[in-house]
């Protein structure tokens, strides 16, 4: 009986097509988001320095523009950091295919 079961199982494995592949992993872009956040923070610091320089020279229009750019870069950095934190703490991806 055991031999028949073993032969039947072996025959089934040989004759059956390959099973679908299941891949479980995470779509982790945390490092990329962290790098983008760092670049946005550096751009914000540069824009802030430009704004201070322009204001010191009396060029208040350009100073205001540079300050707005600095604010936008900091906002982008916060969004990238939030995305990096989200990727670090979750986001499981399951793929089923052949």
Measuring CA to CA, which residue among 22, 38, 21 is closest to residue 30? 38
Answer yes or no: is 5 within a domain. no
In a structure prediction context, what are the per-residue pLDDT tens digits for the chain, which is 98 residues long? 677 777 776 665 565 555 555 555 555 678 888 899 999 999 999 999 999 999 999 999 999 999 999 999 999 999 999 888 887 766 555 555 55
Q: What letter does residue 21 receive in the DSSP assignment?
A: E
Answer yes or no: is 62 within a domain. yes
Answer yes or no: is 7 within a domain. no
Specify the number of domains making up the chain: 1
Residue 58: which domain range? 20-97
Answer yes or no: is 6 within a domain. no
Q: In angstroms, what is the C-alpha Rg of the chain? A: 28
Answer yes or no: is 46 within a domain. yes
Phi first, then psi: give them for residue 57, nearest 5 degrees: -90, 0
* pLDDT of amino acid 10: 67
Answer yes or no: is 66 within a domain. yes
Answer yes or no: is 60 within a domain. yes
């Amino acid at each position: 009986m055991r031999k028949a079961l073993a032969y039947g199982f072996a025959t089934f494995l040989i004759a059956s097509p390959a099973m679908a592949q299941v891949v479980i992993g995470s779509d982790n872009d945390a490092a990329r988001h962290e790098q983008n956040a760092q670049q946005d923070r550096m751009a914000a610091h540069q824009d802030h320095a430009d704004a201070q320089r322009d204001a010191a020279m009396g060029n208040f229009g350009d100073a205001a523009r540079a300050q707005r750019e600095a604010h936008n870069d900091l906002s982008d950095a916060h969004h990238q950091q939030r995305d990096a934190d989200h990727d670090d703490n979750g986001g499981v991806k399951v793929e089923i295919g052949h």
